[in-house]
């Protein structure tokens, strides 16, 4: 329906003012909307589309002081340490690595749907065990850390094991506001420091990585010291050990470790130049949404929720500096 | 504080009556408690203690009509079919197996932290694809089934993906009372029928097994047809494919399948005589509790909850009949 109205001069002036005001409001709204689009997860994108649209600032380079290269006969495993959560362990592991503790040691245990573990096969034998050098054998357990002042991006989908979960420093994490504690979550690929019954016995000289469904019951019971960011397939595809808890029964079954080095100690030309998607930005929020409710044509029933350990943490080769 | 009271005859008679009544009540309560102890999970046991205390009736034998043996160069994989959830798929797979469809086919895809998949490498090539024989190419999708009248033991720990989860017929399952639907959950070791975008294209001629963190987003999007009950380590420890989605890029990388047979068609002396812990009894409830809150000396912080896919489904060699 349209209606023709008489238009005196006064009315025309008012109308012009109203139009200018309307245009101003529209411009402000458009700006606000554009800003919101930057802050809120984009709707209806696949993960690949989210990654394709990401900007250089959405990515962070690995810090060579917090990066380990474990050289195996079948390739290199890259591990990012988590000093924000386990600073004493990170420092101890740096010492072990600087003194070549792991060189010539081996993968000792591969338990299906649980962990792959490496260290000194003779660790229990006081005569034959390799010296930890200047590294320390016992120190604070570091199973949790204070939640206060820790940057934490909440995943609002809920969790069965913790009051709150999300991401901190690029790692899947959990926190308990009542207890004021935060900790890393045992998701696929997370690396921890094996220990005996003594809570302080996890020096970092024996490490494991999760190769199965997230064993979240380990959370807050052991120090989680980092995450494999490249090379998981080398640790997850190993033959399972046939001894108790998946330990290899015969020395010849063990895969030898050629060396473990801190990236900072490796010539720059030999480094794995990787970058990881930041977990605190709008791009990561969009990525989570793309996995929570899949837009791929294949999916008929979007899940509606996503659990912490199902959120991918993308890694890529760093774009060459021009 | 004690107080001495005068005790006339009448009072003494009343007191005697009260005592008899109290003893009766106490006896009834004791009986009720003993009964409850049988029904409720025992407290403070480790999983091994629960299994050691289990009775023969807590276990069920595999039905040879619902059991597949996949013979690989590195050993036998035993799969239990789930006809309660996917009867058409189970029947189609029985046909394929009876006509030796899988013999000489291969493992085509191993995607880290996701699935191992097998079938006909030439399935997409109309000229070279192996015939499905009397098996059917397309039929109802069977992504869910009616929840009504389906036996279902609820796991009360909650779930992020479904209104209710638990166990049915020995399998991890989920249900939605509002929609009246039930389905199998994609936990580690669960087997599904690969499909294209067409929901009815999963004939059972291409199967996959979960080898990583539970991809629960697949629930209700694909037909889950069973579970690997023995031999997971043979499928999970294979080299990861380097092509898109973990497909092997070269034919020589594929692990050949020697044969797949229905246990019923295998001489009894060659069968894997296994039994599985029933998921609907007090022993299973005790087992769940032993994993929900670990009693092992190693654990300091019991998790308090357990997620569906972290509940073990024990399998053992069947005790020899005397």
How do residues A218-250 score in pLDDT, each as one tens digit? 999 999 999 999 999 999 999 999 999 999 999
Tell me what pLDDT residue B207 has. 98
Share of chain B above pLDDT 90, in %: 84
User: Could you give the CA distance from residue A126 to residue A130 in angstroms, rounded to a whole number?
Assistant: 9
Share of chain A above pLDDT 90, in %: 84
Q: Average pLDDT of A132-156?
A: 96
Q: Are A253 and A123 in contact (CB under 8 A)?
A: no
Q: Give the Å distances, CA to CA, from B166 to A19, A192, A215, B280, B309.
A: 62, 30, 19, 10, 10
Q: How far does the CA of residue B134 sit from the closest CA of chain A (Å)?
A: 28
In this prediction, residue B43 has a pLDDT band, given cuts at 50, 70 and 90, of low
Q: Do B199 and A300 touch (CB under 8 A)?
A: yes
> For residue A189, what is the DSSP state?
T
Q: Give the Å distances, CA to CA, from B148 to B177, B183, B184.
A: 9, 12, 15
Residue A34, pLDDT above cutoff 70: no
* 3-state class (DSSP) for residue A302: coil
> Token pair for residue A20?
């200018």
Q: Which of A301, A306, A314 to mutate to test the interface with B (most CBs of B within 10 A)?
A: A301
Tell me what pLDDT residue A17 has. 53
Terminal-residue alpha carbon distance, chain A: 60
* 3-state class (DSSP) for residue A207: strand
Cβ contacts (< 8 Å) between B113 and chain A: which residues? 188-189, 232, 236
Q: Do A237 and B238 touch (CB under 8 A)?
A: yes
Q: Are B274 and B79 in contact (CB under 8 A)?
A: no
Q: Which residues contact A14 (CB under 8 A, 6 or more apart)?
A: none
Q: Give the Å distances, CA to CA, from A222 to A139, A245, B138.
A: 13, 17, 50
Reduced 3-state DSSP string for B269-296 = HHCCCEEEECCCCHHHHHHHHHHHCCCC
* 3-state class (DSSP) for residue A171: strand
Q: Which of B141, B298, B302, B304 to mutate to test the interface with A (most CBs of A within 10 A)?
A: B298
* Chain A residue with the nearest C-alpha to that of B216: A303
Dihedral pair phi/psi, residue A26, rounded to 5°: -60, -40
Tell me what pLDDT residue A132 has. 97
Tell me what pLDDT residue B295 has. 86
Dihedral pair phi/psi, residue B105, rounded to 5°: -80, -165
Among candidates A9, A49, A27, A84, which has minimal Cα distance to A286?
A49
Residue B41, pLDDT above cutoff 50: no
Q: Which residues contact B41 (CB under 8 A, 6 or more apart)?
A: B282, B285, B286, B288, B289
Q: Is A12 on the interface with B (CB under 8 A)?
A: no
Cβ contacts (< 8 Å) between A221 and chain B: which residues? 298-301
Dihedral pair phi/psi, residue B118, rounded to 5°: -140, 155
Q: Do B240 and A239 touch (CB under 8 A)?
A: no
At B77, which helix (H) or strand (E)? strand B75-81
User: Could you give the CA distance from residue B174 to residue B182 in angstroms, rounded to a whole number?
Assistant: 6
Q: Nearest 5 degrees, angle CA A294-CA B108-CA A256?
A: 100
Provide the strand spans (E) within B115-163: 115-119, 145-146, 153-155
Q: In terms of C-beta density within 10 A (0-12 exposed, 13-18 middle, 19 or more buried), how is residue A299 classed? A: middle
Residue A102, pLDDT above cutoff 90: yes
At B23, which helix (H) or strand (E)? helix B9-39
Q: Which residues contact A28 (CB under 8 A, 6 or more apart)?
A: none
Q: Which of B156, B158, B201, B217 to mutate to test the interface with A (most CBs of A within 10 A)?
A: B217
Q: Is B206 on the interface with A (CB under 8 A)?
A: no
Q: Do B298 and A113 touch (CB under 8 A)?
A: no
In this prediction, residue A278 has a pLDDT band, given cuts at 50, 70 and 90, of very high
Q: Do A212 and B305 touch (CB under 8 A)?
A: no
Q: Average pLDDT of A178-196?
A: 97
Q: Which of B184, B236, B314 to mutate to test the interface with A (most CBs of A within 10 A)?
A: B236
Tell me what pLDDT residue A20 has. 54
Residue A310, pLDDT above cutoff 60: yes
Q: Average pLDDT of A104-126?
A: 97
pLDDT tens digit string along B239-291? 999 999 999 999 999 999 999 999 999 999 999 999 999 999 999 999 999 99
Average confidence score pLDDT of chain A: 90
Segments in chain A forming alpha helices (H): 9-39, 47-52, 87-98, 232-236, 282-292
Residue B34, pLDDT above cutoff 80: no
* Chain B residue with the nearest C-alpha to that of A242: B233
Q: Which residues contact A244 (CB under 8 A, 6 or more apart)?
A: none
Q: Is B103 on the interface with A (CB under 8 A)?
A: no
Task: Say whether the ipTM exceeds 0.90.
Answer: no
User: Which residues 217-256 of A have a C-beta within 8 angstroms of B?
Assistant: 217, 219-221, 232-233, 236-240
* Chain A residue with the nearest C-alpha to that of B238: A237
Tell me what pLDDT residue B36 has. 42
In this prediction, residue B51 has a pLDDT band, given cuts at 50, 70 and 90, of very high
Q: Report the C-alpha dihedral over residues B216, B222, B227, B233, rounded to 10 degrees.
A: -70
Among candidates A131, A295, A273, which has minimal Cα distance to A203?
A131
In this prediction, residue A2 has a pLDDT band, given cuts at 50, 70 and 90, of very low
In this prediction, residue A177 has a pLDDT band, given cuts at 50, 70 and 90, of very high
């Amino acid at each position: 329906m349209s209606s023709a109205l008489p238009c005196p001069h006064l009315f025309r002036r008012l109308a012009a003012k109203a139009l200018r005001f309307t245009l101003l409001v529209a411009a402000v709204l458009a700006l606000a909307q554009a800003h919101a689009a930057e802050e809120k997860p984009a709707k209806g994108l696949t993960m690949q589309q989210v990654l394709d649209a990401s900007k250089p600032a959405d990515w962070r380079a690995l810090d060579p002081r917090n990066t380990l290269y474990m050289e195996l006969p079948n390739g290199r495993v890259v591990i990012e340490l988590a000093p924000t959560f386990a600073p004493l362990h990170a420092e101890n592991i740096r010492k072990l690595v600087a003194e070549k503790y792991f060189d010539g040691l081996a993968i000792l245990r591969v338990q299906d749907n649980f962990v792959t573990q490496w260290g000194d096969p003779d660790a229990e034998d006081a005569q034959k065990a390799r010296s930890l050098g200047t590294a320390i054998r016992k120190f604070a357990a570091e199973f949790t850390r204070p939640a206060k002042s820790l940057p934490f991006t909440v995943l609002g989908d809920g969790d069965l094991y913790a009051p709150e979960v999300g991401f901190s420093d690029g790692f899947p994490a959990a926190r308990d506001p009542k207890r004021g504690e935060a900790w890393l979550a045992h998701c696929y690929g997370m690396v921890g420091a094996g220990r005996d019954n003594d809570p302080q016995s996890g020096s970092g000289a024996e490490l494991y990585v999760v190769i199965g469904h997230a064993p979240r019951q380990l959370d807050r019971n052991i120090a989680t010291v980092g995450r494999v960011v490249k090379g998981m397939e080398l640790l997850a595809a190993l033959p399972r050990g046939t001894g108790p808890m998946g330990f290899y029964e015969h020395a010849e079954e063990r895969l030898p470790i050629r060396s473990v080095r801190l990236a900072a100690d490796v010539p720059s030309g030999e480094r794995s130049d990787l970058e990881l998607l930041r977990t605190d930005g709008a791009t990561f929020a969009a990525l989570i949404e793309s996995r929570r409710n899949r837009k791929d044509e294949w999916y008929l029933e979007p899940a509606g929720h996503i659990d912490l350990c199902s959120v991918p943490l993308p890694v890529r080769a760093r774009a060459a500096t021009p």
